[in-house]
Amino acid sequence: MATEASLPSLTGDFYTRSFQPGPVPGTLILNMGPQHPSTHGVLRIILELEGEYILRAEPVLGYIHRMHEKMGEVKSFAQYIPNMGRVDYLHAIAWNWAYVGAVEKLCGVEVSERAEYIRVITSEMNRISSHLVWWGAYLLDLGAFTPIMYAFDDREWLLDLLQIVTGSRLTYASLRFGGVTGDLTPEFIDGTYRWCEHMRARLPMYKALVTDNFILRKRCEEIGVISLDLARRYGATGPVLRGSGAAYDVRRAEPYSVYDRFRFEIPVGTAGGDAMDRYLVRMAEIEQSLNIIEQALQGLPAGGPMHEKAPKRLKALKGETYFAVEGARGKIGVHLLSDGGKNPYRVKLRAPGYSNLSLFPELARGVLLADAVSILGSLDLVIPEIDR
Amino acid sequence: MNAAWIESLEAESKQQTEYARSGCHWEVLLGTGQLEAAAAAALAQGYFLEDVSVIDVSEGFCAVYHFDHWDNPGRVTFKVLVPHEKPEIPTISHIHSGAAWHERESYDFFGVVFTGHPNLIPLLLPDDLGFHPLLKKPEERKPLREFAINPQPAATQPAKGIGDSHGD
């Protein structure tokens, strides 16, 4: 137990030293991470504890920082596309889309109608694969080992399908200015219908096995309640915001591509924004994404995967633009400036997880350390996206 | 979208922008002394901060604040221009709490100081890095008007492929 006399001798790195011990004697400074198994990726959180309760929490970021925004300024517009798959490895297609969409918007590049549908289909499949990884990993955090095996089993089939059309399994870079790289094959279309059917049949099993589980409920209900005011002040988006009851989804609020042609619901939380609300929103979103995929497959228009006027080499126009899409974790935004040269002048990447995590210090105040693990998992953090 | 609150803001200039190409509905240029009041007005109207982006241009650093609304979507952009010699902007982290990290990141990347920030220490970069990686060389900097999306009729841009685009 630290005494007042021992506090001034507190050592540690820059962040520990700047995280001054509070005025309460007898508190403990605990570093959670960077290799803590409950945090996916390397996130470090400095905590000040009194007993098992958190007095203060401060995330320390940057362990996977790669300066993607600088790379945007030294690569050409097209060379930067593969970077997007590496910003958020779980929903790479949405990041592809945010960047490619921003360039298309700024430079007036038209996209073929079939490519819009392919983008919707692959992006929604990617959203489901992201939610499956979150689901498995979250339950792993909470001490349940089995569910991640089921999740990865279903995801494996999904990745096999995505591989047919994009050529990759994780860090997709399949979008191009004016379209996508590959057309859908009959094998893919047939397989996706069958996979959707399979996934629908699995969801009741997920519910019976996990969602209705008493222990899970105890770990999630009334834990980490995010009020709408808190969500607004921190700019939370995605399931973190929708769990608190606001039906804000970029696909509906600022419709891009062909999303206005599909019928889908925006699931929201009903219990005030606790971790269980966020859990249920994501599970319901899997079903909604399945609906969108099936509608898009049924309505798939003829044509090629690239617009016939798509530029062989992009001729960038001067200007400034902002383009946003709905990723698995919330609003992905790209603020792009071009001076007409071959590289972007400035690319700013808005990562939803960054804003979602930034509310954690306020949310963690006064909660049990074990509940903080549950809260962090319920935020669905992908650290490479936060660190960029 | 309801624009009355924007009309009533004290600002250096404000204009509606062409959404199809810029992705923004309103752009408001603010002085450093006007930023806090404008940010507070945005929060009172229910707007949330999407991000804070900084651009290094000939005139100085241009901090760009993007706001959006859950129920009445429409992007409002605030811009604040400060000289390279004195890159100081008041913080809005006491109003929009999420700004705290965006401002720390901007300090990391550009060295822009957000005065009044409670904890302006490095966030994404090492504390002993010693330089700001997104600074441009003086000869590479372009004036802000180069990026104006609403050029007057005597535009510098070729109109090809823009005017007929409907943006989706």
With respect to residue A381, please indicate whether it lies within any of the assigned structural domains. Answer: no
Question: Which has the minimum average pLDDT: A228-242, B5-19, B109-123?
Answer: B5-19
Residue A5 inside a domain? The answer is no
Chain A residue nearest residue B128, CA to CA: A14
Q: Which helix (H) or strand (E) holds B48?
A: strand B47-57
Q: Say what the pLDDT of residue A329 is.
A: 92
CB crowding B4-38: b at 16 or more within 10 Å, else e:
eebeebebeebeebebbbbbbbbbbbbeeebbbeb
Closest CA to A93 of A129, A135, A53: A129
Closest by CA to A222, choosing from A58, A360, A374, is A374
The model's pLDDT over A262-282, given as tens digits with 9 standing for 90+, comes to 999 999 999 889 999 999 999
Lowest-confidence pick of A377-386, B27-36, B141-150:
B141-150
Classify residue A209: in a domain, yes or no: yes
Span B52-87, pLDDT tens digits: 999 999 999 999 999 999 998 889 999 999 999 999
In the predicted model, is pLDDT for residue B167 greater than 60? Answer: no
Residues of B in contact with A227 (CB under 8 A): none
- Reported as a single tens digit per residue, the pLDDT across A224-235 is 999 999 999 999
CB contact under 8 A, A235 and B53: no
Token code pair at residue A304? 């090629």
Which of A195, A134, A197 is closest to A160 using CA atoms? Answer: A195
Q: CB burial class (10 A; 0-12, 13-18, 19+) of residue B137?
A: exposed
Residue A141's pLDDT band (boundaries 50, 70, 90)? confident
Looking at the predicted structure, is the pLDDT value of residue A316 above 50?
yes
CA dist list (Å): B140 to A76, B98, B134: 16, 31, 12
Within 8 A by CB and 6+ apart from A45, the residues are: A31, A32, A33, A39, A57, A58, A59, A60, A360, A372, A376
Cα separation, A118 vs A60, whole angstroms:
38
Q: Is A302 exposed, middle or buried (0-12, 13-18, 19+ CB in 10 A)?
A: exposed
pLDDT tops 90 at residue A115: yes
b/e string for A319-342 if b means 16 or more Cβ within 10 A? bbbbbbbbbbbbbbbbbbbbbeee
CA dist., res. B9 & res. B29, Å (int): 10
Chain B positions touching A244 (Cβ under 8 A) are: none
Q: Which domain holds residue A111?
A: 68-356
* Chain A environment of B68 (Cβ under 8 Å): 253-254, 331
DSSP letter assigned to residue A306: B
pLDDT at B36 > cutoff 70: yes
- What was the pLDDT predicted at B154? 37
Q: Is residue A125 part of a domain?
A: yes
Residue written as token pair 């109608």:
A113
Q: For residue A39, what pLDDT band results from cuts at 50, 70 and 90? A: low
pLDDT tens readout for residues B12-22: 888 888 888 88
Phi (first) and psi of residue B3, to 5 degrees: -110, 5
Q: Is residue A374 part of a domain?
A: no
Token output for A187: 């094998």
Give the one of A348, A358, A388 whose C-beta lies nearest to B98's C-beta.
A358
What radius of gyration do chain A's Cα atoms show?
A: 22
pLDDT(B168) > 50: no
Asked whether the predicted pLDDT for residue A103 surpasses 90, the reply is: yes
Domains and CATH numbers, chain B: 4-147 (3.30.460.80)
Mean pLDDT of the region A157-166: 93
Q: Please give the backbone phi and psi of residue A95, each rounded to the nearest 5 degrees, phi first.
A: -70, -40
Q: Which of A104, A109, A244, A318 to mutate to test the interface with B (most CBs of B within 10 A)?
A: A318
Question: Rounded to an integer, what is the distance from CA A336 to the centroid of its chain?
Answer: 21
Q: Which residues in B lie closer than 8 A to residue A226 (C-beta atoms)? A: none
- Are the beta carbons of B111 and B122 closer than 8 angstroms? no
Q: How confident is the model at residue A41 (pLDDT cuts 50, 70, 90)?
A: low
Q: Note whether A61 contacts B123, CB cutoff 8 Å.
A: yes
Element (H, E) at A186: helix A186-206
CA distance B160 to B113: 41
Q: What are φ and ψ of residue A336, in 5° steps?
A: -120, 135
- CB B80, CB B35: distance < 8 Å: yes
Identify the residue among B125, B150, B168 best suited for mutation to test binding to A, counting A beta carbons within 10 A and taking the highest.
B168
Contact A240, A380 (CB under 8 A): yes
Q: Which residues of B touch A258 (CB under 8 A)?
A: 168
**What pLDDT does residue B155 have?**
37
Structure tokens at A282: 């994501």
Question: Confidence band (pLDDT; 50, 70, 90) for A10?
Answer: low
Least Cα separation, residue A350 to chain B (angstroms): 6
* pLDDT range class, residue A341, cuts 50, 70, 90: confident
A327 part of a folded domain: yes
Q: Is A44 exposed, middle or buried (0-12, 13-18, 19+ CB in 10 A)?
A: buried
Residue A3 has pLDDT above 70, yes or no: no
Percent of chain A's residues with pLDDT above 90: 60
CATH number at residue A263: 1.10.645.10
Band (pLDDT 50/70/90 cuts) for residue B8 is confident
In a domain? residue A54: no
Q: Which of A210, A203, A198 is nearest to A140 (CA)?
A: A210
Q: Residue B89: which pLDDT band, with cuts at 50, 70 and 90? A: very high
Candidates B127, B147, B160; nearest CB to A319: B147
Q: What is the pTM of this model?
A: 0.88
Q: Tokens standing for A122? A: 């692959």
Other CB atoms within a 10 A radius of the CB of residue A309 amount to 10
CB–CB contact B157 A317 (8 Å): yes
- Tally of domains within chain A: 1
Mean pLDDT to the nearest integer, B105-129: 91
pLDDT for res A21: 67
Neighbours of B73 (CB within 10 A): 16
Give me the residue label for tokens 């591989």: A163
Q: What is the pLDDT of residue A63?
A: 83
pLDDT value, residue B150: 59
Question: Is residue A239 in a domain?
Answer: yes
Q: Quote the pLDDT of residue A120.
A: 94
Indicate if the alpha-carbon torsion angle B117, B119, B120, B125 is positive or negative.
negative
pLDDT of amino acid A26: 81
**Average pLDDT over all residues of chain A:** 88
